[in-house]
Chain A
Amino acid sequence: MPEATQAATLVVGIGNPSRGDDALGPLALERLSQMQLAGVELLTDFQLQVEHALDLEGRSEVIFIDASVESHAPFDFAPVEATADASATTHALSPAALLDTYRRLIGRPPPARVLAIRGYAFELGEPLSERAANNLEAAVAMLAARLRRSRIGS
């Protein structure tokens, strides 16, 4: 997986590959990395942390991909705004709280969206569930098409 450097679009995959459907974020990035999408950089991590704010600098768009127990199946894809939510007090920030950290420390954050892929089971050592695997396919197809379109349009 390439490390994030400077490109217009940053896609951040969040999750633990060894915790069942929590692998959805990293797996989505793995799939995207095989597509060689121009102008797109990929960054994966277990969870968002304050220093990830520095990875957002200079981007025209940021997309966070994470497993979700709240989204609709197969996925929700929606803009996210900087918000000081409860995760600002934990070791793991939400995308909204990370954007808020950026706003406080650096300035106006880049436009961002969250691709929340519906997951179901999150136990250590479990494989991806079948339903989550289907959701992953749909989410990656949508996002890849969108990233290709935005590249053509730029």
Chain B
Amino acid sequence: MTERAIADDLETAPNAEGLRRVAIDPVSRVEGHGKVTILLDSDDRVHQVRLHIVEFRGFEKFVQGRPFWEIPVMVQRLCGICPVSHHIAAAKALDLVVGAARLTPTAEKIRRLMHYGQILQSHALHFFHLSSPDLLFGFESDVARRNIVAVAAEHPEIARRGVLLRKFGQEVIRVTAGKRIHGTGAIPGGVNKSLTAEERDGLRRDVYQIVAWSREAVQLVKKLHLSNVGLYNSFGTFRSNMLSLVASDGAMDLYHGGLRARDDAGALIFDHVDYRRYWDHIVEDVKPWSYMKFPFLREIGRERGWYKVGPLARVQNCDHIPSPLADAERREFVDVGGGQPVHATLAYHWTRMIEMLFAAEQIKDLLHDDDLLGSELRVSGPRQVRGVGVIEAPRGTLIHHYRVNRDDQIVRANLIVSTTHNNQAMNEAIRQVAKRYLDGRKLTEGLLNHIEVAIRAFDPCLSCATHALGKMPLAVELIDAEGARIDEIMRG
């Protein structure tokens, strides 16, 4: 047997001829369609690992020529899982087009309430229903057991809380956006409705329970992490830069702020950058093997400038969290790093629950602010031709950028979604896992699930796919070098 050369980064095999190709297509328990391909030699040594993602193809065409005021509603149809994030990011971008440099307190607080409702329900779904089966039962447990149905059977209270947290988040969205889906609440320059006292009081009644459950969720994930710290700290772990918005005082703020980037040792690369010129700092690279772009920080360069976004980046990028319970949890999490940033992929779960607690506390505070009932909803000023809106969506930084002509039509749009920011990071995570767990071993469903566990930690939204009946088969295929299918594992 001739020894084959293996590339250190596992991105591109030096000589792919004759290697077996394993495809995990599509990855389950993530939104949309994703595919992982792994090239193996006859000794099961791993030569190449890639995550392929179908991006928002056709989006620019979809919005081109549309009146700009339709966009905050239209963009919700990009994604069935985070429509509110697109709704708010688009409205923020178009605030600038209508000259609304600063919203009324009522408008801004209603948008914040809507946004934190989305964060809460998205994080709850991910932890309680998509990730808890892996974390509670183990990555190599019986596949039939590794789903929420088994969680409901063995941990009924966890499954029930997941549903009720989701429901509460949806209710926050309904009262702020006007409807449960296809909401119209955020409009360029503000919002189109405030809350009634009855709506506010209805949410107030439940919010204390929501805060308590969120707090307990942090305790649960912390316990899981600390009870198996060796695994949690090493699984799919890689060092990288981190990017997120932070408030002007360095606090965590998921609705508005300046861009802050840190390097892998925690040192600032840039801080409080005005996101309206994001392109001065973020460059979108392309690779021939992927539809999805690979952004990097201009200050660091293409090779080492890639970064991660989302809960793990945000909790460590900020100086503090402006909610007492969540900030206490943040400090405890940061202490685990012993003065160094935590880069453990599985720590996304812990930080996601800290953010869920933060969102619950923010919702509670907002529900005690009378500005929510105000009547000054909208402002405008001198028209602009360009608008950029950035928020921290559940999965990470979300950028919407539009150019509008004199006839109020969209002539150009650019979106950088959270999953695109994390593209290189997710590829790095699965390469680490492949090296550690797959290399030289006969593949099993349980081993392949390790790859999926690493991807799921990022909670990627891989595309805004159609979910018609029959459109989402879940299969793991083993394909030989000539493309012939030689084995298949069906899920479910």
Q: Is the CB of B181 within 8 A of A45?
A: yes
Which of the 9-residue segments B151-159, B233-241, B320-328 touches chain A? B151-159
Q: Is the CB of A18 within 8 A of B77?
A: yes
Task: Pick from A19, A45, A86: contact of B491, CB below 8 A.
Answer: A86
Asked if A94 is at the interface of the complex by the 8 Å CB criterion, the answer is: yes
Cα of A116 to Cα of B469 in the assembled complex, Å = 8
Shortest CB–CB separation between residue B135 and chain A, in angstroms?
Answer: 14
Interface string of A112-126 (1 = CB under 8 A from B): 001010010011110
CA distance A119 to B471 in the complex (A): 11
Q: Look across to chain B and name the residue whose beta carbon is closest to the beta carbon of A69.
A: B470
Q: Which residues of A contact B166 (CB under 8 A)?
A: 49-51
Task: Choose the segment among A98-106, A134-142, A143-151 that binds chain B (4+ C-beta atoms closer than 8 Å).
Answer: A98-106
Q: How many A-B residue pairs have CB under 8 A?
A: 146
Q: Which residue of B lies closest to A82 (CB)?
A: B149
Expressed in whole angstroms, the minimum distance between the Cβ of B53 and any Cβ of chain A is: 15
Which has the most chain B C-beta neighbours within 10 Å: A16, A20, A89? A89
Contact, CB under 8 Å: A22 / B466:
yes
Q: Using Cβ atoms and an 8 Å threshold, which residues of chain B touch A3?
A: 174, 179-180
Say whether A92 faces chain B, with CB atoms less than 8 Å apart: yes
* B474 at interface, CB cutoff 8 A: yes
Pairwise interchain contact A22-B467, C-beta atoms closer than 8 A: yes
Q: Tell me which of A94, A123, A125 has the highest count of chain B C-beta atoms within 10 A of its own C-beta.
A: A125
**Does B80 contact A46, Cβ atoms closer than 8 Å?**
yes
- A44 CB → nearest B CB, Å: 7
> Given contacts A85-B492, A91-B81, A105-B152, is CB(A19)–CB(B466) below 8 Å?
yes
Chain A residue, CB-CB nearest to B79: A46
Instruction: State whether A91 touches B58 (Cβ < 8 A).
Output: no
Name the contact of A66 in the complex, choosing from B61, B80, B163, B469 (C-beta under 8 A): B469
> Given known contacts A44-B181, A88-B147, A89-B130, is B170 in contact with A68 (CB within 8 Å)?
no
Nearest B residue to A70 by beta-carbon distance? B470
User: What residues of A have a CB within 8 angstroms of the CB of B441 in the complex?
Assistant: none
Please, which residue of chain B has its CB at the minimum distance from the CB of A45? B181
Interface string of B55-84 (1 = CB under 8 A from A): 011110110000000000010011011010
Interface contact A94-B474, CB-CB below 8 Å: no
- State which size class the interface on B falls in: 35 or more
B453 — which chain A residues lie within 8 A by C-beta?
none
The interface residues of chain B lying within 8 Å CB-to-CB of A66 are 468-469
Complex formed: what's the CA distance from A98 to B163 in Å? 12
Per the bound structure, the CA–CA distance linking A69 and B469 in Å amounts to 6
B472 at the binding interface (Cβ < 8 Å): yes
What's the Cα separation between A44 and B156 when bound, in Å? 28
B28 / chain A contacts, CB cutoff of 8 Å: 86, 89-90
Q: Chain A residues with Cβ under 8 A from B146's Cβ?
A: 89
What total of chain A residues lie within 8 Å of the partner, measured CB to CB?
A: 47
Residue of A nearest to B165 (CB): A51
Residue B95, interface by CB 8 Å: no
Contact assessment for A100 and B468 in the assembled complex, using a CB-CB cutoff below 8 Å: no
Interchain CA distance A53-B181 in the complex, whole Å: 17
Asked if B149 and A125 sit within 8 Å, CB to CB, the answer is no
For B77, what are the chain A residues with a Cβ–Cβ distance below 8 Å?
16-19, 46, 124
CA distance A119 to B466 in the complex (A): 11
Verify B31–A51 contact, CB threshold 8 A: no
B153, A104: Cβ atoms closer than 8 Å: yes
Given that A51-B170, A67-B469 are known contacts, is A16 also in contact with B80, CB under 8 Å in the complex? yes
B471 touches A69 (CB 8 A): yes
Q: Which 3 A-B pairs have the closest CB atoms?
A: A86-B492, A46-B80, A70-B470
13 residue pairs A–B, Cβ–Cβ below 8 Å: A15-B467, A16-B464, A17-B182, A46-B83, A54-B167, A66-B468, A66-B469, A86-B490, A88-B148, A89-B474, A92-B80, A114-B469, A125-B58
Residues of B at the A interface (CB closer than 8 Å) are 28-31, 56-59, 61-62, 74, 77-78, 80-81, 83, 121, 125, 129-130, 133, 146-149, 152-153, 156, 159-160, 162-163, 166-167, 170, 174, 179-182, 464, 466-472, 474, 490-492
